[in-house]
A = this chain, B = another copy of it.
């Protein structure tokens, strides 16, 4: 039976999970893959910490380069994270003829195209299933299962921190700040939660999804990103009243000659499968032109779910090594010479249904003023709801638009905001698959 030697760079949460699976499931993997996947070395700054299960001390080194240069090692697993050392080590591994598996979405979203090209030139397999959606087979499904489909759209809940916070606001009508504090206390949010709550982590994953779905090189800066910190229990309440839930969605869609690419809080019908994805769980709806809607659901983060995705890459690469089929699958789902540049639709050009919520003085003529401005900009309303009555005091005014262009909506809102009968900033939430009320 062929032996394949593996080196793990970085023994933090995910790396520890990978080490654990390789050590404890060697027999299961042997029975499935028909090869012996042997853990040869682990590089980490901290070689002494108890990882919760026995690891041979001799496997550890503080020198990651030693692992990358070890002539016996066939596959290098990069679970250090970040975009500096990790990148250098991956490039060094590729140049030394190692196959590579990484869970590093930030690196791939920013510099994936260059890394993938380098791997391809060197005849190296670069696996990254763990970079998007934890244990959900997002990469494999896009690249292999939907191979005969043109991808119509992908819509995903891809960040467990945001979903945990939004679920809590939804269930308990607490404030964003309170929900964030609790998520931090329970270990579902980092001390500095910016990457998660501002949607940046989700955008990283969306960039990778777009590359695979459309065979295009996408610049992270071209993705419109809006986080969840301005979501209030009031808007969640209104959403529910009209049959919606609010989720932070990553959305990409093919529209004519361009691609929509956006991350923002989104209203989706309560009976949509994505509406029932709560807490730290993730889900992705991939719509193919032959398959229609398909959905994957599962843990998008965490030690063992993410390690499970790394193992899936390791097994795939091991099978390629055994049959001399490295390079069998193009990294980005399309052959390198078929990668195109498809423009990303600027957010101003988006055509969508919108939920708009104002605070306006409850006085005759106010509604006609506001809807007049919207009408002047070509925005027609599906429905208008004034909540509560308070003569000459401000009350929430909720509007659902027909399809409208985002630029027009923004210009209209700026004008409306200037009215003295309107208080504070209006809230704007995009709607996917409107219920049509």
Which positions in A face B, CB cutoff 8 Å?
Answer: 17, 21, 25, 28-34, 129, 135-137, 140-141, 144-150, 215, 271, 273, 276-277, 283, 288, 290-299, 304-305, 307-309, 311-312, 314-316, 319-320, 322-325, 327-330, 333-335, 338
Q: Known contacts being A291-B305, A307-B290, is A29 close to B316, with CB within 8 Å?
A: no
- Tell me, in angstroms, the Cα distance from A350 to B137 when the chains sit together: 32
Minimum Cβ distance to chain B for residue A364 (Å): 44
A312 contacts across to B, CB distance below 8 A: 144-148
Q: Judge whether A290 and B21 touch: CB under 8 Å.
A: yes
Bound: A222/B338 CA distance, A: 49
- Does B135 contact A290, Cβ atoms closer than 8 Å? yes
In angstroms, Cα B150 to Cα A276, docked, is: 27
Measured between C-beta atoms, what is the minimum distance from A38 to chain B in Å? Answer: 15
Whether A148 pairs with B28 at a CB distance below 8 angstroms is yes
Q: What distance in Å separates the Cβ of A303 from its nearest Cβ neighbour in chain B?
A: 9
**A148: which B residues are within 8 A, CB to CB?**
21, 25, 28-29, 307-308, 311-312, 314-315
Question: Which residues of chain B have C-beta atoms less than 8 A from A294's C-beta?
Answer: 135-136, 296-299
Closest to A332 in B: B32
Docked CA distance A147–B286 (Å) = 23
Chain B residues, CB < 8 A from A147: 29, 32-33, 311-312, 315
Report if A140-B144 is in contact (Cβ < 8 Å); known contacts: A21-B290, A273-B297.
yes
- A144 touching B290, Cβ below 8 Å: no
A328 touches B338 (CB 8 A): no
Known contacts A296-B295, A335-B31; A328 and B325 CB within 8 A of each other: yes
Known A294-B298, A305-B292; judge A141-B137 contact (CB<8 A): yes
For the A-B complex with A17-B290, A29-B148 known, give 9 more contacts whose Cβ atoms are closer than 8 Å.
Answer: A28-B148, A135-B288, A135-B292, A140-B141, A273-B276, A288-B308, A291-B299, A291-B304, A296-B297
Bound CA span A32–B142, Å: 11
Q: How far is the CB of A55 from chain B (nearest CB, A)?
A: 17
In the assembled complex, the CB of A298 is this many whole angstroms from the nearest CB of chain B, namely 4
